[in-house]
Amino acid sequence: MYFYRLSVVILNDPNVALQASILFCSNPASQFYSSIYSESLYALFSVGGCYYLVSRANNIAVLWLALSGFAKSNGVLNAAGYFGFQVVLIFPQGFILKAKLKGLDFSHLTAY
């Protein structure tokens, strides 16, 4: 469910998001998600954390991404992704603010 919600937010198209979710579920490696491995918990916490991250619920995103680190040891790398995402959100805003102070217009460069 989180994969579908995340896909809707990113792709802005519910039909394409549904197709992406079906492909994710029917992929040959998804056998690990239906058996007793830590992969399924890791995928749940990682995708859920990314969903909350793009939904700007940062506290919940940190919790879910931290839980992915407990599910699998490589989930610790999600912390680097979290900090990188925050830097990408903050840096362009600071760049555009400085440009506006100088009288330059870079508003066409932002996705928001």
Task: Map out the domains of the chain as residue ranges.
Answer: 2-109
Average pLDDT of span 5-30: 87
Are 65 and 79 within 8 A, CB to CB?
yes
Q: Would the pTM count as exceeding 0.85?
A: no
CA distance 82 to 48: 13
d(CA 61, CA 46): 9
Q: Which has more pLDDT, 39 or 34?
A: 39
